[in-house]
Structure 1
Amino acid sequence: MAGRRGQIIDLVRRQGFMTIEALAQQFGVTPQTVRRDINELADEGLVQRFHGGAGLPSSTENIAYSNRQVMNLDAKRKIAAEVAASVTDHSSLCINIGTTAEEVARALLDHKGLSVLTNNLHVASLMAGNEDFHVVVAGGLVRARDRGIVGEATIDLIRQFRVDIAIVGISAIDLDGTLLDYDYREVRVAQAIVEHARKVYLAADASKIGRRAMARMGHLEQIDILFTDRPPPEELCRVMENVGTELRVADEAVGGDGGPGDAEAGELEE
């Protein structure tokens, strides 16, 4: 029993979220047995209970960057491909901090004529490799742990531009639609990015849904399209329907009439 629960903790830490069904299949036990395991682990603070599964426990700090790079990597790549398919050549973009954002940057490398504003040095380095791209780095304080750039100087520069599409990641999405993160400085930059874009695409794998964090970035009502890898809980789907946020599930894009060509393409506007 202890061995199985230890393995559940390990799977949740590596994947970010595991469904009850997947865990039951993994260990050859009933869903009821998995629920009991999850309940006991949650009572000890080792995992967090969610509808249909278990995720990482709530925290005031995010997981280490090196761990986040490999967590849910397949899901992030599928999401990134879906986002990239919704961006036309010669668009102007703003891409923020996060490992999902970095996968989106990779997926965009075959596009033509993109103008990119970013506060993510990993994204800047990736996209500068395409000589057909125009890349602007929003200067400020560089965080050693993930090469993200934050601070007042970053916000001031972002406010000088207006882009076709903001592509943002997030650490947590509450089931009432609130968007949450761990670093208040990062949140302030993300808010500026959202405010200065014609359209906002949120890229977040399913492990972020129902997760908790302290700093409020905004609400799904500010998001045009949520790109994820699994259908969200019904509660969140109702919120999205009420506020008009389109849902795109990787490999099975749903909802709305949107798609490639939705946003007007153009250079960064100062």
Structure 2
Amino acid sequence: MNSVPERIRKSERRAQILMELRWKPHVRVTELAEQFGVSTETIRRDLQEMNEARELDRAHGGASARIPESQPSLDERQTSRVEERERIARFAVRQIADGASLMIDAGASTIALARCLAVADLNLKIVTNSLPVAMILGPAPKIYLRLCPGDLLAPEAAVIGPDTSAYIARHNVDCCFLGASAASDQGISEAIPGFADVKRAMMAQAARSVFLIDHSKLGRNELDRVAGPAPDRAIYTDRLPDPGFAKAWQAGGGELQVIEA
């Protein structure tokens, strides 16, 4: 007799979970259980079934909004435009002073940067939310590294969420190095849920912000706007962008470096 009402409650609960994921990148099992007045096991079953239906992505302690299908996976991005990313990364490393403090976010371009830093023989202090960056730089004898806490976004091998942003806010650094999904005359933007918040948090704690963006991302926009041009912001890219974009970025005081082959 109670099966129909239970199905309705279940349907409404799942609809509300999806609605929450429109506004924040991650939801937690314990918080959802308290919100809906059900057990954590009930929520875990909901999230598992929704994951199997490709409505969301299961993550440690909860679930994350699905990464748009149009966004290539981290593995795919790491195997494309390798030469361009490495050229940008090598240039970026040459701009870093010995003894600098840095923040490095997650993504294929910043992983390329980490590989170059690992052999650069620099004394550095680094804060990152990227597991691959931490794995690459952790063994380097001259690098002191802190890995942010947070909610694991497994497809991107990164942590995100309020705990990540709060941890970042406890630090001050000379420079942050960031990737991005897109850049246009409207600014820099991000497709991956939760990444824009982390980037903005890092920018707030850094004296200078550098975006490592290969040419394939120029002239595009994604949903979450990260930042516009400013005197303390730079874009390093591998090909001269559209003149309109270059003019808009530089008119706002932003630095633009084109590292051609």
* TM over 0.5, shorter chain: yes
Matched, 1:225 2:214: no
TM-score by length of 1: 0.68
Change (3 A) 1:108 1:132: same
The one-letter amino acid of 2:129's match is: N
Determine if contact 2:231/2:255 at 8 Å carries over to the other structure. no
Matched, 1:207 2:211: no
**Bigger RCO (CA 8 Å, 6+ sep):** 1
Question: d(CA) in 2 for partners of 1:221 and 1:205?
Answer: 20
Q: CA deviation at 1:125?
A: 0.7
Q: CA deviation at 1:95?
A: 0.2
Larger radius of gyration: 2
Determine if contact 2:212/2:237 at 8 Å carries over to the other structure. yes
Question: d(CA) in 2 for partners of 1:188 and 1:177?
Answer: 18
Question: d(CA) in 2 for partners of 1:199 and 1:177?
Answer: 20
Equivalent of 1:151 in 150, 161, 185: 161
Question: How do residues 43-122 of structure 1 correspond to structure 2 at under 5 angstroms?
Answer: 61-109=70-118, 110-122=120-132
Matched, 1:168 2:178: yes
Q: CA deviation at 1:251?
A: 4.2
Describe the SS at the equivalent of 2:99: coil
Determine if contact 1:202/1:223 at 8 Å carries over to the other structure. no
Determine if contact 1:177/1:220 at 8 Å carries over to the other structure. no
Describe the SS at the equivalent of 1:66: helix
Question: d(CA) in 1 for partners of 2:69 and 2:76?
Answer: 17
Determine if contact 1:60/1:213 at 8 Å carries over to the other structure. no
Describe the SS at the equivalent of 1:194: helix
In the alignment of these two chains, the number of paired residues is 193
Q: Which residue of 2 aligns with 1:40?
A: none
The one-letter amino acid of 2:112's match is: E
Change (3 A) 1:156 1:213: same
Percent same amino acid among aligned pairs?
24
**CA offsets 1:3-61 (integer angstroms, 9 cap, x no match):** xxxxxxxxxxxxxxxxxxxxxxxxxxxxxxxxxxxxxxxxxxxxxxxxxxxxxxxx675
Question: d(CA) in 1 for partners of 2:252 and 2:175?
Answer: 19
The one-letter amino acid of 1:65's match is: L
The one-letter amino acid of 1:188's match is: D
Question: How do residues 167-186 of structure 1 correspond to structure 2 at under 5 angstroms?
Answer: 167-174=177-184, 176-186=185-195
Q: CA deviation at 1:63?
A: 1.0
After superposing on structure 2, the runs of 4+ consecutive aligned residues of structure 1 that deviate more than 4 Å are none
Q: Which residue of 2 aligns with 1:234?
A: 243
Describe the SS at the equivalent of 1:164: strand
Which consecutive residues of structure 1, in runs of 5 or more, have no partner in the other structure?
Answer: 1-58, 253-270
Question: d(CA) in 2 for partners of 1:102 and 1:108?
Answer: 10
Determine if contact 2:231/2:253 at 8 Å carries over to the other structure. no
Question: d(CA) in 2 for partners of 1:251 and 1:86?
Answer: 16
The one-letter amino acid of 1:244's match is: G
Q: Which residue of 2 aligns with 1:141?
A: 151
Determine if contact 2:130/2:159 at 8 Å carries over to the other structure. yes
Q: Which residue of 2 aligns with 1:51?
A: none
RMSD: 1.6
Determine if contact 2:183/2:189 at 8 Å carries over to the other structure. yes
Determine if contact 1:168/1:203 at 8 Å carries over to the other structure. yes
Describe the SS at the equivalent of 2:256: strand
